[in-house]
Chain A
Amino acid sequence: MSRETILTAIRRGLKRGELPADQQAMLRGRLAAHPRHLIPARSRLPRAGQVALFVANVEREFGTVARVPDLDAVPGAIADYLAAQNLPSEFVMAPHPELQAIPWPERPLLRIREGRAEASDTVSLQHAYAAIAETGTLMLPSAPERPTTINLLADTAIVLLRASRLVGAYEEAWDMLRAEWKDTLSGGFMPRNVMLVTGPSRSADIEQTLELGAHGPRRLHVVLVDDEAGAL
């Protein structure tokens, strides 16, 4: 069987047999401890500085950010954004409890469908699990309440992010996932899919010249809820 053939060839190349038990234990220890390497200094900032760095990086990557004081202000912010972009007041929304708790009826003209996205959807609203200031990156793990298609199929992707869920470096976001997530299938912490999203879709395949809107969303708009006093 090729599995044994390959493993045997690897061990022959490394000029040893299977690793001795103590070395295997050491490597299992490394996996369990998952030591961090260098974390760039750019994100080692006070909270307000991290939020500012996140916003600057999203905008640098051709995304946009609207900051709102609380969840009550979200319907107005989204309605204003859609109007400013000349888009219909209609979107598909991830069935996340935090999004469902937003007082949408205050903006009765917004037409909302809950569920996964379909090819016919032009605008989508996703709920960010976390975000990383270092590069202006959103962390979107899959879950029944956070479908992956919401990140991909619509031409305009809107993502709600609470400032308290923003971290400096990727490593801090992985640790949040490790601490908070329980995957029922594997017993581990990784959901089926974790997307790290930095700006809207793009391609430079034609003459190495950047064009936005390849296969994913052409626009990425972050609605940032300032729910953390220290991060203002």
Chain B
Amino acid sequence: MHVVTSPAFKESATAAIANAGLQKALANSGPSFIARRASAVARLPEFERLRDIGRDIKNHTLANLDFYLEAYEARVLEAGGIVHWAATAEEARDIVLGICQKAGARTVTKGKSMISEEIAVNDHLERHGITPVETDLGEYIIQLRHELPSHIIAPAFHLNREDWEDQFRKSHTDLPADRVFHERRDILTEARAKLRQRFLAADVGITGANFLIAETGSSVIVTNEGNGDLTQTLPRVHIVLASIEKVVPTLEDATSLLRLLARSATGQDFSVYTTFSTGVRRAGDLDGPEEYHVVLLDNGRSNMLGSEFQDMLRCIRCAACMNHCPVYGTVGGHAYGWVYPGPMGAVLTPSLVGIDQSGHLPNASTFCGKCESVCPVKIPLPNLMRHWREREFERHLTPAAMRTNLALWAWVAKRPALYRLVTRAAAAALGWLGRKRGRFSSLPLASGWTGGRDLPAPEGDTFFARYAKAQRAGKIR
């Protein structure tokens, strides 16, 4: 598994804010995602109703998940494929390695897959002498840089054009070192040429799946580049990596969710290639894989069923939540410290790696609610983060100083007369102290606030006092 650096979230976030390259990339790319989604949604008047439909399809599937997984498996078998069930990441890695070794594979091409990141299959293959090659352009450079993706649909979100040029010069040493990249297209063209050779040479192709369809036994991938299709068409063996919650009942169900996916993700009406794969090459076919394997991964998801986190299993990995998140937009994806960043990561990561390791993530939220408002399947993300905060508190993982202060606050808050007295005294004292400047640029015990901004000095009385006064004057009843 990739090392979880989430415990260092605060330090990573501080470093991210000071990282000029990252801040440039976030400022360049962030707003375009928001604008493109808004424009796609505006072009489809039925979008809000589709969100309800998407939520209901996923809820129906999760309530009957065992049935639909078994139905799906039966259809895959009929189409000549094999389903491998993996309870853990370790088991999934070993299944993939076993298939590759049996196929005598030397190189493996890969379409973009977050499950592949979750189970860290690349490292495992490399340790056993098999070379994995990421073919999604963003994943390709991330692999060259030995990084994790910083975004679930735009893996190289944190990089600027100059980073691409530097890395390609470093990695593609067979090309003239003094070549010029006049435009972004030149970078793309170089990657295309490099990867074309890889596609043709690969023995096994590994893709993810956006959906699995119980009705037909199909796996669905969605790409714009066409790399996923080359990955699953050219090699002799195709392996699909998918987690158990990816299954949906029918083509109609998948279609409704697809209407939500591209619009929420990239702001396209539909992705360029939406491809349904069902089993092995048929008699007479001139291309397509001769072996078709699906690795179905649980890795902690079945524990979420029936818990307060079940709603998270509706997620279709569109990234709208992180694209609209002020915290993600400030610190980027790597600060979150594992595979899934942003609001969806703040809920999912504790489920998969434990709240003891990732307690900072559900706390790294302003609860502005933007993520929930754009989620295509209406996952109540802030509420789920709140549940994690509660669990963290219950398990005494919250830092001692914070617990003490929370306890003190609760003790005062539960005594209304005392609460009013204390707040009234504090407001009066601060108002008097700040009467000249109208604000404080530093306060004892509150440097966490005043370090980044001024605190306005209270003017007049507390809300309670003013409300009571207005009531007495007959202005409010």
> Which residues on A sit within 8 Å (CB–CB) of B269?
57, 134-135, 198
Of A72-80, A211-219, A222-230, which binds chain B? Answer: A211-219
Q: Which A1-43 residues have C-beta < 8 A from chain B?
A: 1-3, 5-7, 9-15, 18-19, 23-24, 27-28, 30-31, 34-38, 40-42
Asked if B252 contacts A205 (CB within 8 A), the reply is: no
> Which residues on B sit within 8 Å (CB–CB) of A204?
154, 224, 266
Which has the most chain A C-beta neighbours within 10 Å: B269, B272, B278, B298?
B272
Asked if B288 contacts A142 (CB within 8 A), the reply is: yes
Per DSSP, chain A at the interface is: loop
> Which residues on A sit within 8 Å (CB–CB) of B229?
148, 151-152, 195, 216
Range, interface on chain B: 35 or more
Of B2-10, B63-71, B462-470, which binds chain A? Answer: B63-71
Asked if B282 contacts A191 (CB within 8 A), the reply is: yes
Q: Report the bound CA distance from A6 to B87 in whole Å.
A: 6
CB distance from A143 to the nearest CB of B (A): 7
How many chain A residues touch B (CB < 8 A): the figure is 83
Asked if B66 contacts A206 (CB within 8 A), the reply is: no
Partner of B233, one of A10, A40, A144, A149: A149
Of A81-89, A101-109, A121-129, A179-187, which binds chain B? Answer: A179-187
Asked if B217 contacts A184 (CB within 8 A), the reply is: no
Asked if B225 contacts A215 (CB within 8 A), the reply is: yes
Asked if A13 contacts B305 (CB within 8 A), the reply is: yes
Contact of A37 with B227 at beta-carbon distance under 8 Å, contacts A193-B288, A196-B275, A208-B28 already known: no
CB distance from B257 to the nearest CB of A (A): 10
Q: Report the bound CA distance from A38 to B424 in whole Å.
A: 55
Q: Which B106-158 residues have C-beta < 8 A from chain A?
A: 135-138, 141, 154-157
- Binary interface profile of A, 158-192, with partner B (CB < 8 Å = 1, else 0)? 00000000000011001000000001111111111
Partner of B272, one of A142, A202, A205: A202
Q: Report the bound CA distance from A174 to B218 in whole Å.
A: 13
Contact of A207 with B277 at beta-carbon distance under 8 Å, contacts A152-B229, A216-B225 already known: no
> Which residues on B sit within 8 Å (CB–CB) of A119?
196, 200
Partner of A205, one of B154, B226, B250, B285: B154
Q: Which B146-203 residues have C-beta < 8 A from chain A?
A: 154-157, 159-161, 164, 184-185, 187-189, 192, 195-196, 199-200
Q: Which B227-277 residues have C-beta < 8 A from chain A?
A: 227, 229-230, 233-234, 244, 249-253, 255-256, 258-259, 266, 268-277
| A221 contacts the other chain (CB 8 A) | no
Q: Which B10-48 residues have C-beta < 8 A from chain A?
A: 25, 28-29, 32-33, 44-46
Partner of B287, one of A35, A61, A148, A203: A148
- Binary interface profile of A, 38-57, with partner B (CB < 8 Å = 1, else 0)? 10111000000000000001
Contact of A170 with B184 at beta-carbon distance under 8 Å, contacts A5-B87, A202-B224, A203-B225 already known: no
CB distance from A42 to the nearest CB of B (A): 7
Contact of A198 with B271 at beta-carbon distance under 8 Å, contacts A186-B217, A213-B192 already known: yes
> Which residues on B sit within 8 Å (CB–CB) of A37?
50, 53, 57, 252-253, 255-256
CB distance from A128 to the nearest CB of B (A): 15
Partner of B87, one of A2, A12, A134, A199: A2
| A156 contacts the other chain (CB 8 A) | no
Contact of A34 with B283 at beta-carbon distance under 8 Å, contacts A174-B255, A194-B276 already known: no
Partner of A206, one of B63, B164, B199: B164
Asked if A9 contacts B303 (CB within 8 A), the reply is: yes
Contact of A38 with B273 at beta-carbon distance under 8 Å, contacts A2-B87, A190-B216, A215-B195 already known: no
> Which residues on A sit within 8 Å (CB–CB) of B230?
152-153, 215-216
Asked if A9 contacts B302 (CB within 8 A), the reply is: yes
> Which residues on B sit within 8 Å (CB–CB) of A190?
79, 216-218, 276, 278
Nearest-CB residue, chain B, relative to A11: B66
Asked if B279 contacts A192 (CB within 8 A), the reply is: yes
Nearest-CB residue, chain B, relative to A116: B286
| B85 contacts the other chain (CB 8 A) | yes
> Which residues on A sit within 8 Å (CB–CB) of B275?
193-196
Interface residues of A (CB under 8 A from B): 1-3, 5-7, 9-15, 18-19, 23-24, 27-28, 30-31, 34-38, 40-42, 57, 61, 95, 115-116, 119, 134-135, 137, 142-144, 147-149, 151-153, 170-171, 174, 183-209, 211, 213-217
Q: Which 3 A-B pairs have the closest CB atoms?
A: A216-B226, A13-B305, A214-B225
Mind listing 21 A-B residue pairs with CB under 8 Å? A2-B86, A5-B298, A6-B298, A34-B252, A137-B274, A171-B251, A174-B255, A186-B80, A190-B276, A193-B288, A198-B270, A204-B154, A205-B136, A206-B188, A207-B28, A207-B29, A208-B33, A211-B185, A214-B227, A216-B226, A216-B229
4 extra A-B contacts, CB within 8 A, seeds A38-B49, A192-B278, A194-B276: A6-B296, A10-B302, A148-B229, A190-B276
